[in-house]
Chains A and B, each alone.
Chain A
Amino acid sequence: MNPLFNDDFQEFPLKRALAQVMSKREAGAKVIGAYCSYAPVEVVWAMGGVPAVLCAFSNAPIAKAEETLPVNLCPLIKSSFGFIELKTCPFFELTDAVVGETTCDGKKKMFELIQEHRPLYVMDLPQCPTNEGAVAYWRHSINGFKKFLEETFATTISDAAIEESIRECNRKNRLVEGIFAFGACKPAVITWQEMYAVATYAMSAQGSDAITQLEGIIATLTTRQEQKQFTSPEGAKRVLITGCPVGGDVLKVLRLVDEEGAAIVGLDSCTGLKPYANVTEEGSGDPLLAIAKRYLKIPCACMTPNTGRFEVLKQQVESLKPDLVIDLVLQSCHTYNVEAVKVESYVREDLGTNYLKVVTDFSQQDLGQLKTRIAAALEMN
């Protein structure tokens, strides 16, 4: 079976992303660090910059972070902050500026603590996306971010350049969606490790190279499908992962699913399909408004109401046909944890699919219990 990427980073998607960011930086691109799927990367690309994801999933810097931050805070925030304190996050070290959004409380207050390190812009994100004026206000925030970039880097970002990057992002995002759609194959032809690698790659890739790479991946997957090269045994239980972003040490949960012989067929979170879903309108005459509309459709639990989450779950469950939906909640992430109440009843009652909520952090101490929970949920039905 051919791998999806033909490079030296087979098992190391983050190293691949780092190499992408470094080569663009060497070619003169400004690196804009981002903490969230709401960062409007079209504006960054339009400036000739490159976005780099700063969300960290390693347990290692958490002890350092806890010297400053409260212990009962989301591990993603602690890990990201700890890396900055230790100056050991290679992505952060490469950034020229950082953009944040007012999503959850922990993150937005953490931004205040890192602002002396880099030029930082915090975008005010409306949290009731369907209320009147929300889109206009978000457009206003995006325009503020554009002006921040123009001032910080003494440049101008034209509407035409933004239009062009909207087109390129749309094209790229459709290909990423196309790759994730292979999750519907039964038995599976794509692993979660590969989906995760694609999602990580596409964040810092753009232009013809990216298109060629992603089209190549689709060709590889098509071959696997035609030649019946399966990545999981026939009859393996199928799992959809939803909830908080995952990566690094919290991939332990996904590995436990592998250990039980089940196949993960979908990653619905921000380190999966979520940042690539939805289309930005092209040629609208107001590219910032088009961007604002598309981004406000991101179904994040920070939003209320977050109806999009349920629409996406319905589509994913219908196309991927999972036996189990695992809602992965990071400890102290109140938005996803509380939303899980509705997600559970929707998945069980409306979609008729088994559901398991897992609350965890980046440590390894709950492995035994997680294994029992996941195995027990997979033993059902």
Chain B
Amino acid sequence: MLITIISIVIIDFINLTLLSRPANNSSPHKPTDHFPFGSAGVPIKLAGIDIGSRSIEFVILDSETTEIIDRFQAETSIDLSKQLGLIRERYDWGHLVSTGYGRQLAQKVLGGDVITEIKAYTTSAHHFHPTIDTVIDLGGQDTKALSINRSSGQLHKFEMNDKCSAGTGKFFEMMAGSLGLSLDELVAEALRGSKSVEINSTCTVFAESEVISLLTSGVALADIARAIHEALLTKLVSLLSRVIRSDSGEILFVGGGAKNRAMVQLLAEALNRQVIVPPHPDFYGAYGAAIHAIKSV
């Protein structure tokens, strides 16, 4: 069996619940380009917002340095318009681009342009990691695999999971719930577990009954936790195998799911490739939107 040396970079978990938590985090990587100034020669604040069905990420970049001036993450509120209204009151920016499922509504409330998450991820991935051509995003409700042209930064091809929550981050939450664990505990168990059993379904309903029957037949919790990860891994590998090329090197893993260390490790082993998790992987949609805003400056 091949043993791969995996380098995993996971830095800085962010508090999920705040609506506004201004933080002077610096840009995750050194900017690779120089950004334009505003017409008066003054750097412009570029905002990017990624509205998912579960969480919102918002960033403000400095157009000159691409330093992150401000960022926050919050759960998506049921009253999204009101939530967006608050953002409009508390922040100011020169130009804003919205992405994610709520992008259309965000445009109505906040103005600016819209791009899809797929374009946003392509933009940020290529900006911060120009040598990587394969990206996987494991989000709360969907999963995307992207193939990017390394020289042009253009999206070559993308794949998404089928319509249900099978194959997404939501799956872990549900499974942790049926084992009576928190998400962190589930991940910790999985890292301890070994591959002794299989869960065949990523349909949350079926998988739950599989998990319960494994529990009652006395299988170790850690092994069940591992099997849960393996079930989702199969989905990720099948999505990735549709976009990966023979000369692809490292894989960039972004989205909230990239914070799951067990998943990152299993993915690297399964693909026999380095899997790179950047700081703040769940902000890549918002970064991409903000970087895209440069085009409008």
| Number of residues from A at the complex interface, CB < 8 A | 13
> Residue B155 at the A interface, CB < 8 A?
yes
B12 close to A (CB within 8 Å): no
Query: Are B158's CB and A369's CB within 8 A?
Result: no
Query: Most chain-B Cβ atoms within 10 A of its Cβ — which of A365, A366, A373?
Result: A373
Instruction: A369 to B168: give the CA distance in the assembly, Å.
Output: 13
Pair B101/A372 contact, Cβ less than 8 Å: yes
User: Which one, B33-41, B76-84, B112-120, B256-264, is touching chain A?
Assistant: B112-120
A332 to chain B, nearest CB (A): 12
A154 interface residue (CB < 8 Å to B): no
Contact between B115 and A368 (Cβ–Cβ < 8 Å)?
no
Whether the Cβ atoms of B118 and A359 lie closer than 8 Å is: no
Question: Would you call B109 an interface residue if the criterion is a C-beta within 8 Å of the partner chain's C-beta atoms?
Answer: no
Q: Are A372 and B117 in contact (CB under 8 A)?
A: yes
A368-B101, A380-B154, A380-B155 given; A373·B163 CB < 8 A = no
Q: Does B162 contact A (CB under 8 A)?
A: yes
Alpha-carbon gap, A369 to B101, bound state (A): 8
Among the listed B116, B160, B162, which residue makes an inter-chain contact with A375, where contact means beta carbons less than 8 Å apart? Answer: B116
* With known contacts A366-B163, A368-B101, A369-B163, A376–B142 Cβ distance under 8 A: no
B54 to chain A minimum Cβ distance, whole angstroms, is: 13
Nearest neighbor of A363 in chain B, beta-carbon distance: B163
Let me know if A369 and B160 touch, CB within 8 A.
yes
Write out, one digit per residue, whether chain B residues 156-171 have a CB within 8 A of any chain A CB (1) or not (0): 0010101100000000
A359 touches B162 (CB 8 A): yes
Q: Which residue of A365, A368, A369, A376 is within 8 Å of B119 (Cβ)?
A: A376
Q: Mark A353-380, 1 if CB is under 8 A from B, else 0.
A: 0000001000001101100110111011
Q: Are B101 and A379 in contact (CB under 8 A)?
A: no
User: B163 contacts A372, CB within 8 Å?
Assistant: no
Contact in complex: A373, B160 (CB < 8 Å): yes
Question: Which A residues lie within 8 Å of B158 (CB)?
Answer: 376-377
B118 touches A379 (CB 8 A): yes
A-contact 0/1 string along B132-175, CB 8 Å cutoff: 00000000001000000000001100101011000000000000
Q: Complex formed: what's the CA distance from A380 to B122 in Å? A: 10
Q: Which residue from B101, B116, B154 sits with its C-beta under 8 Å from A376?
A: B116
The answer on a CB contact under 8 Å between A369 and B142 is: yes
B99 — nearest CB in chain A belongs to which residue? Answer: A372
Bound together, the chains give a CA A369 to CA B163 distance in angstroms of 7
Chain B proximity of A237: nearest CB distance (Å): 14
A2 within 8 A of B: no
Q: How far is the CB of B223 from chain A (nearest CB, A)?
A: 31
Write out the residue numbers on chain A whose beta carbons fall within 8 Å of the beta carbon of B101: 368, 372
Please name 30 pairs of A and B residues whose Cβ atoms are closer than 8 Å in the assembled complex, sorted by A. A359-B162, A365-B163, A366-B163, A368-B101, A369-B142, A369-B160, A369-B163, A372-B101, A372-B116, A372-B117, A372-B118, A372-B160, A373-B118, A373-B160, A375-B116, A376-B116, A376-B117, A376-B118, A376-B119, A376-B155, A376-B158, A377-B158, A379-B115, A379-B116, A379-B118, A379-B119, A379-B155, A380-B154, A380-B155, A381-B154
Of A376, A377, A380, A381, most B-chain CB atoms within 10 Å = A376
